[in-house]
Structure 1
Amino acid sequence: MELQVKTLEGGAAGSITVSDEIFGLDPRTDLIHRVVRWQLAKRQAGTHKALGRSEVSGTTKKFVRQKGSGGARHGNKKAPQFRGGGKAFGPVVRDHSHDLPKKVRALGLKHVLSAKAKSDSIIVVEDAKAAEAKTKALKDQFAKLGLTSALIIDGSELDRNFALAARNIPMVDVLPVQGINVYDIMRAHTLVLTKAAVTALEERFK
């Protein structure tokens, strides 16, 4: 598969041949969905907690007589139906993450890259570098490329000026190639890859 390469100013800079095994697959939404669920579950803090009836303070003395009150036969103020009582089946601190095989994770990334390529939502740029950390200048360049919601993936190291200029632009994320992930790709409308990122991805899946 051949993709056109552009400059940050929106000009043409030739073309690049990319692997069909990464960018030319028929996208499987079930694989992408599994990886996104795995990512989001792993991100959950799981620090939610409610006190059960064994953890709240309250008397366990029988506070109403067994018969003759006209009410139920209660023997504990900590029961869930009383104000200040413990929560029945409340949330507890736990780990929400679950296992997902590495092969499925790798396939999910390939299929989401193929999905972006199939919908013409990938832009390959020569590099992601800025002479100075000026957000306004970078926004003007993005406007020429037609970027509103984008994930920009560079090589193993980000250009400091580019990263600083981009971090104030809403709906634009910049990551090194090691940080590429299915959820962020799906969240962004356009995926922007540098030539270094494409090379690194092909090396990774070789």
Structure 2
Amino acid sequence: MATITMLNMAGQEAGTIELKDEIFGIEPNENAVHDVVKNYLANQRQGTQSAKTRGEVRGGGRKPFRQKGTGRHRQGSSTDPSQIGGGVVFAPKPRDYSYSVPKKVKRLAMLSALSAKVADGEMIVLDELKMEAPKTKEMVATLANIKAGKKPLIITAAKDENVVKSAANIPGVRTALVGTMNVYEIVNHDSFIVTKEAIEKIEEVYL
């Protein structure tokens, strides 16, 4: 088991915590992480893009100019894609980009992402993260104390409105729960800040 030093909100050492190798100590599988990240981004696409084909644009009821004698190319319809105001060739239409990946791949990708954060020294464990009221200034100070970097991801075991609101206006900072965190956000952030209570819940979910 890997042992990590916990910090308090002041950035001081507050004991140690042992991380289970089955979750935080596996050999990261880059293929699984890539598949899940690609799936996440595809599922975020709205798929609402649309353009008109030559059969949908207005006009085209008559030949725009005579066949011969104009010095121009032959043309039978003003809706042809080569004409100004004509339709679009193979026009994009609304579609659903979402698809699913196997649960085992999702699980492997999550464990790989968590293990990579530990291996790279990008995981910061706090003994607790509590605030009396929503205070952006206090959250900024806490992140500076623990040297969180410019793009930290904060994971808590349960929703705390004071923590969420305190971090909401800080550029690059994102908060999530153990149940809502995803592989894309973990690998996309510089540091992974997690409370002791959240670690226990992660191990409970993934063991």
- Shorter-chain TM-score: which interval? over 0.9
Percent identical residues: 37
| Alpha-carbon distance in structure 1 between the residues aligned to 2:13 and 2:206 | 28
The answer (yes or no) to whether the contact 1:60–1:78 under 8 Å persists in 2 is no
Aligned partner of residue 100 in structure 2, secondary structure: coil
In the TM superposition, residue 159 of structure 1 has moved relative to its aligned partner by: 1.8
| Alpha-carbon distance in structure 2 between the residues aligned to 1:34 and 1:28 | 10
Aligned partner of residue 179 in structure 1, secondary structure: coil
Instruction: Give ranges in structure 1 of 5+ residues lacking alignment.
Output: none
The answer (yes or no) to whether the contact 1:128–1:159 under 8 Å persists in 2 is no
After TM superposition, where is structure 1 displaced by more than 4 Å over at least 4 residues in a row?
A: none
- Name 2:55's counterpart in structure 1: 54
Are 1:28 and 2:29 counterparts?
yes
Q: Which amino acid aligns with 2:120?
A: S
Aligned partner of residue 16 in structure 2, secondary structure: strand
The answer (yes or no) to whether the contact 2:68–2:74 under 8 Å persists in 1 is yes
In the TM superposition, residue 70 of structure 1 has moved relative to its aligned partner by: 3.1
1:115-134 to 2 correspondences below 5 Å:
115-134=116-135
CA RMSD, aligned part only? Answer: 1.3
Deviations 1:137-178 (A, max 9, x none): 2211211101122001000x2222122111111111111111
Aligned pairs, number:
205
Q: Which amino acid aligns with 2:202?
A: L
| Alpha-carbon distance in structure 2 between the residues aligned to 1:135 and 1:83 | 53
Aligned partner of residue 56 in structure 1, secondary structure: coil
In the TM superposition, residue 134 of structure 1 has moved relative to its aligned partner by: 1.4
In the TM superposition, residue 99 of structure 1 has moved relative to its aligned partner by: 2.0
Deviations 1:16-57 (A, max 9, x none): 111111110111222111111000000011111111111100
In the TM superposition, residue 60 of structure 1 has moved relative to its aligned partner by: 2.9
The answer (yes or no) to whether the contact 2:167–2:174 under 8 Å persists in 1 is yes
- Name 1:164's counterpart in structure 2: 165
Per the normalisation by structure 1, the TM-score is: 0.94
In the TM superposition, residue 179 of structure 1 has moved relative to its aligned partner by: 1.0
| Alpha-carbon distance in structure 1 between the residues aligned to 2:133 and 2:69 | 84
In the TM superposition, residue 67 of structure 1 has moved relative to its aligned partner by: 3.3
Q: Which amino acid aligns with 1:130?
A: M
